[in-house]
Structure 1
Amino acid sequence: MKIAVDAMGGDNAPKAIVEGVMLAKKDFPDIEFLLFGKESAIKEYVTDDKNITIIHTDEKIESDDEPVKAIRRKKQSSMVLAAQAVKEKQADALFSAGNTGALLAAGLFVVGRIKQVERPGLMTTMPVFTGGKGAGFDFIDMGANADNKPEHLLTYGILASYYASQVRGVKNPRVGLLNNGTEDTKGSELTKKAFELLKEEPSLNFVGNVEARDLFNGVADVVVTDGFTGNAVLKSIEGTAQAIMSNLKSSILDSGLKGKMGALLLKDSLKELKQKMDYSNHGGAVLFGVKAPVVKTHGSTGPDAVRHTIRQIHTMLEKDVVNNLVAYFDEHQA
């Protein structure tokens, strides 16, 4: 299997990206990596060139570039060339830590959506504080679409339920609709109509409306929402987690000797909590509904997060998720 990597995407590129690829190479010797970007900068971090091909380009998409314009005008950028390689079947999947909007545009306009999906959704796996190691829920849409129809939310439920069962191994995943209350009649016109569609879909184990405050308690294995709401919720979660960890650290440092001794005793527990809150351990965000895996990790990502994301892509390719998903849609929409 071959993965096209935008080696110049992200705040710490190409260092973090290439170092993450080097880590993943040890885990997955069956992957061939196509690294797109400035050759001299990439080579600096390549410690083993087996299964590594570098495709040189000096052009890259910046974080502040307007997404669609960047895809259309920067055709020799590392991201566009990587997407083109997937489109032309030279690679099986696309990975980037670069400009999110540009990657979504590359997925839609270069890789292309599968015909059964009108609006692909951006999905990530979030941690929960109940259950064992690796427990989580799949959250879709996180911002690929600012405006949605009820039918799009139904499609997201089918996509994410399929991913949860086939990639994460969740048996009969519970699907919840994010809403401002758990009652069946709650919500906007969008969520009310989406509720009825999800409820009537026989292939889904729909458990009804779920509230944002219950997400981390394992209320559902899949949580569906529109892209505007999903992005707002995700950023609220990220900001809250960062504020808690920052204030906890400040409180410990300002609490004198007694507080620091207590923190030392709790060091392992605090480390475990931090790891549990880090959703990058589950891999990257998937643009689900396009013709090949297109996966995005955070722009400030480090080598370990890159490694986790490549593991996720490996699983998707190993299970032939996209082709099986097309067959799944054909079967359930016949």
Structure 2
Amino acid sequence: MTESRWYSTSPPAKLNLFLELLARRDDGFHELDTVMIAIDWRDELRVRRTSKPGVQLSVDWSAGRESIAKELQVTDDHELLLVPTDDKNLVVRALNRLTQTLNLDGGWEVQLNKNIPSGAGMGGASSDAASALRLGWEAAYETSSATFSPLKHEMLPLLAAEIGSDVPFFLGELESERDVECAQATGRGEKLSFFTLANPLHAVVIYPAASVSTAQVYSHCQVPDSPQSSNDLVRALQGIRAESEFSLHNALQAPARGLSSRIDPALECLSKAGLTHCRMTGSGSACFALADSSQQAAIAAETLRSTFPGGALIRPVVSCVVPSEIHIA
């Protein structure tokens, strides 16, 4: 086979504006009611097909390992900066599954530049995997004689759900191909109802220098007798109800706070910075708060960089659409 051109995109992170536990499932997961929004804290991913079997993945930090280590106040070889390049990386799993599903010859060369931290609850690995599926599909279509394009809208969501619960969100709404920033999700998080925001959401995100195990957080949580519903929040985000009725929620925040001493300081600093709706995202450890504008978010982020106790990645962000645009070179 011939090598394909390079396909590239910028996988975004996500924030959970709402996350409730509805029930414990027989497969060990939980039934969720969650609202996810894509934000412009992005990785960079490039993929091309090669004649060599397997996935050859190289990973670096876009800002440089030393720069990120300085922000986090850790050493250059700290575990927070280590990103696997084998099948522990969801990009590798995604492309291997795509190869098997489409019965492709050869393999893949992949370059991943990280900005989104791991163990943050921001879905960075899931977003990278979703982008790898999209890029891999396009590259395979370029170099394969098989006709599988009509199956794209059916197969990619199935593969995404198999790889991880958050992965389908980052594919966006493939069937309509409209621009969407947000989704209400149920099941493990893979059953999605996408919608468009009435107004952009601005926020500041703090990732303290600590990751939290998703499995441990879930093992310490309990399903409430009367779960909250995200329906009112969804209507407010769509402009059907007043934004003053925003009510954010994360059922995983309390157990995560018990597992990491870094979460409470992040929430407290966000609140003191004059921001609103301070919450943890996903299973942590990243926390966020909403701002009225990009200017307020930028000013608050700059203030927090000088006042937050200890190392952290602190970024002003804004909602963005999924999926990200694909470029070919």
Q: Mark yes or no: TM-score above 0.5.
A: no
Give the structure with higher Rg (CA). Answer: 1
Higher strand share: 2
TM-score by length of 1: 0.20
TM-score by length of 2: 0.20
Higher helix share: 1
Q: Which of structures 1 and 2 has the larger relative contact order (alpha carbons within 8 angstroms, sep 6+)?
A: 2
